[in-house]
């Protein structure tokens, strides 16, 4: 009869599985093998605590996303790898969650021996949970502050490293003030409907990226730059966009009627079944201010309200007044290695033009599928850097390939 695996065995299996898919620095690997994730998830089955999945710790009634959760361990590991925290560093974490990430950070910086970790959360229950679990696991030296994370924690600034574990739409000026020159900021940054974990280094009045990874996080409380508009009366088709974009939601509602024919434009790009194509979205947002996110709920898909969206819950689209084109994936058996073909489906008077523009973005991605743009972020009161700029209230984002 086989024995039930211990927490240590499950934790090592989890880390082994992450290493099979991701390259991790040795210090991050050691931290993840050391910190007991189950301690930070009391009441959760031990096996589930060591599965590579998110775990909700506080629901958000009436909202589609939880108020707080334990992030997917492989994403946690990736972001810690991006952060490159070193022994002796002073680190600020925005979003305390379960306290697990703060414990990992404490291992990386040396805990109360050398480094310092401060974690901030706006929700009193979440902050209390983090304080309690950190104490239980032996990380009493981590500072937990109940506060709006957008304000940071000036008491212990300047910080060598700042990491956010909530989705951030615009980087607040307070973080600039609290991050040392030469310091690193890693955050799930949101723009044009997508979220990327971006690693940035402060160089004077600039933050310059050296890497970004696809991710998904609960958005921070207090930033309202992202808007949502229903595209049908049943609210099963939705458009997500940024506040600097002008969206004629009512006109689009009429455009997407069942009696309004759709047109399809195919690209030359094919993909395999496991091949990521999220770089199309990234490429488009680096050149085009019309990029939004189209969401089709399961009900919309069951009723076939739209055809073959690339990913129903999150498909990139181009919008111009009452016209729309979105990314599609069509199965074709001509190439068994890459049986899926990317294209665009169009609605509205200018739909075909938008579809052709989207296909141009697809083909540009296809020519360099692994290319990642450099992101430069400056305060909003400074001049634009060369490249395509997205303006937000507190910052300007410039993307260049």
Q: Are 166 and 188 in contact, with CB atoms under 8 Å apart?
A: yes
The structure tokens listed for 232 are: 């049908």
d(CA 146, CA 92) in angstroms, rounded, equals: 13
From the list 134, 83, 82, 81, the residue with the least C-alpha distance to 111 is 134
CB-based burial of residue 300 (10 Å sphere; 0-12 exposed, 13-18 middle, 19+ buried)?
Answer: buried
Distant-in-sequence, close-in-space partners of 203: CB < 8 Å, separation ≥ 6: 181, 182
Helix or strand or coil: residue 338? coil
What would you report as the CA-atom Rg of the chain, rounded to the nearest whole angstrom? Answer: 22
Tally the residues of the chain. 401
Is-catalytic flag, 68? no
| Residue among 68, 71, 74, 267 flagged as catalytic | 71
From the list 60, 3, 62, 74, the residue with the least C-alpha distance to 32 is 74
d(CA 320, CA 348) in angstroms, rounded, equals: 9
From the list 100, 162, 89, the residue with the least C-alpha distance to 137 is 100
In the chain the first and final C-alpha atoms are separated, in Å, by 57
Q: Are 75 and 95 in contact, with CB atoms under 8 Å apart?
A: no
133 membership: H or E segment, kind and range: helix 124-136
The structure tokens listed for 14 are: 């989890």
328-336's contacts with Cβ under 8 Å and 24+ in sequence apart are: 328/264, 329/271, 329/277, 330/266, 332/270, 335/270
From the list 153, 12, 145, 9, the residue with the least C-alpha distance to 73 is 12
Q: Residues 84, 88, 90, CA angle at the centre, nearest 5°?
A: 75
The structure tokens listed for 361 are: 């973005």
Catalytic residues: 71
């Amino acid at each position: 009869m086989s024995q039930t695996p211990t927490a240590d065995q499950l934790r090592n299996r989890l880390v082994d599985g992450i290493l099979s898919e991701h390259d991790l620095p040795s210090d991050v690997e050691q931290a993840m093998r050391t910190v007991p994730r189950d301690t930070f998830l009391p009441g959760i089955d031990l096996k589930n605590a060591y599965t590579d999945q998110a775990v909700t710790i506080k629901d958000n009634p009436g909202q589609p996303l939880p108020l707080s959760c334990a992030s997917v361990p492989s994403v946690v590991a990736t972001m810690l790898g991006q952060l490159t925290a070193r022994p002796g560093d002073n680190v600020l974490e925005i979003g305390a969650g379960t306290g697990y990430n703060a414990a990992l950070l404490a291992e990386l910086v040396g805990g109360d021996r050398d480094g310092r970790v401060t974690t901030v959360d706006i929700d009193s229950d979440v902050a209390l949970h983090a304080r309690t679990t950190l104490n239980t696991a032996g990380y009493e030296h981590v500072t937990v502050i109940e506060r709006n994370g957008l304000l940071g924690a000036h008491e212990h600034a300047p910080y060598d490293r700042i990491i956010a574990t909530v989705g951030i739409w615009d980087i607040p000026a307070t973080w600039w003030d609290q991050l040392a020159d030469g310091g690193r900021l890693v955050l799930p940054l949101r723009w044009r409907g997508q979220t990327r974990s971006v690693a940035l280094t402060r160089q004077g009045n600039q933050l310059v990226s050296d890497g970004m990874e696809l991710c998904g996080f609960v958005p921070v409380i207090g930033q309202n730059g992202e808007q949502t508009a229903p595209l049908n009366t049943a609210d099963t088709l939705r458009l997500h966009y940024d506040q600097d974009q002008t969206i004629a939601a009512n006109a689009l509602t009429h455009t997407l009627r069942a009696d309004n024919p759709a047109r399809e434009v195919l690209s030359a790009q094919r993909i395999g079944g496991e091949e990521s194509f999220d770089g199309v979205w990234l490429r488009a947002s680096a050149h085009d201010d019309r990029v939004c996110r189209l969401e089709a709920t399961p009900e919309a898909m069951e009723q076939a309200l739209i055809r073959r969206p690339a990913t129903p819950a999150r498909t990139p689209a181009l919008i111009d007044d009452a016209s729309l084109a979105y990314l599609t994936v069509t199965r074709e058996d001509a190439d068994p290695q890459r049986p899926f073909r990317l294209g665009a489906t169009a609605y509205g008077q200018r739909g075909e033009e938008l579809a052709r523009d989207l296909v141009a973005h697809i083909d540009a991605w296809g020519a360099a599928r692994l290319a990642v743009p450099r992101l430069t972020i400056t305060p909003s009161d400074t001049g634009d850097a060369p490249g395509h700029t997205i303006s937000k209230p507190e910052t300007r984002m410039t993307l260049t390939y």
